[in-house]
Amino acid sequence: MFDALHQLIAQFVTFTDREKAILESAFVFKQVPRKFSLVRQGQVANELYFINKGMLRLFYENEGDEITAFIFRENLFASSYDSFLRQTPSIQSLEALEEADLLVITQPKMNELYEELPKFNVLTRKIAEQRFINSQQILSSFLLDSPEERYAKFVEQNGDLLLRVPHHLIASYLGMTPVSMSRIRNRLAQQKR
């Protein structure tokens, strides 16, 4: 159950067996069905999720529309980070796109790990740095790339998600309408012929 988490951690820090046991004891396993809401806009996010299996979607709700902010897949941590870290009401919602197997840690447990495992501070800093870099790349793409370029990058980096995520959610994530994304897909398919 913890193999994927330990593989991720090993990219950043080395834990002893004792430290691994302490880390594991802080997490609880949770299986949720597709469409299960983990955080609703306006609620405080009290949990951080490591995705063993499945996918989660972070989205904004605005005047009846849902705008996908991020699609989290296996081996990633997910939450409404701002709400989780500051313990304020979330401006986003988080739900399961597929049945998901999650390892869950609460903020109090995380704070205990900061005290008990000094390497946990290094680990979370490095993961936060990685998320920051990823966020900067997404922002840069929105500012500098055409919709066609954004779609092409998405396919190159996450093409397998086209088979797992409804296309209207991918279009929302890429900042375009489903009709626009369909046109782009058709154009790119014709260019390959």
Average pLDDT over residues 49-64: 95
Q: What is the mean pLDDT of residues 125-144?
A: 92
Residue matched to tokens 């369909």 = 182
* Residue 192: pLDDT over 80: no
Distance CA 80, CA 48 (A): 8
Beta partners for residue 94, in sequence order = 39, 58
Q: 80 and 58 in contact (C-beta within 8 Å)?
A: yes
Instruction: Tell me phi and psi for residue 28, to 5 degrees.
Output: -125, 140
Least confident of 17-31, 85-99, 153-167: 153-167
Global pTM value: 0.91
Could you tell me the pLDDT band of residue 127, with boundaries at 50, 70 and 90?
Answer: very high
Is pLDDT above 90 for 1? Answer: no
State whether residue 186 is helix, strand or coil. Answer: helix
What residues does each domain of the chain span? 3-142, 145-193
User: What pLDDT is stored for residue 18 in this prediction?
Assistant: 96
| pLDDT tier, 148 (very low <50, low <70, confident <90, very high otherwise) | very high
**SS3 (DSSP) at 56:** strand
Q: What is 3-142's CATH number, 3.40.109.10, 3.30.930.10, 2.60.120.10, 2.170.130.30?
A: 2.60.120.10
What pairs with residue 78 in β-bridges?
49
What pLDDT is attached to residue 159?
87
Q: Are strands 93-96 and 56-62 parallel, antiparallel or unpaired?
A: antiparallel
What is the per-residue pLDDT for 113? 96
Q: Give the model confidence (pLDDT) of 7-46 as tens digits.
A: 999 999 999 999 999 999 999 999 999 999 999 999 999 9
* Whether residue 190 has pLDDT greater than 90: no
* Of residues 123, 125, 175, the one with CA closest to residue 148: 175
**Cβ-contact 82, 90 below 8 angstroms:** yes
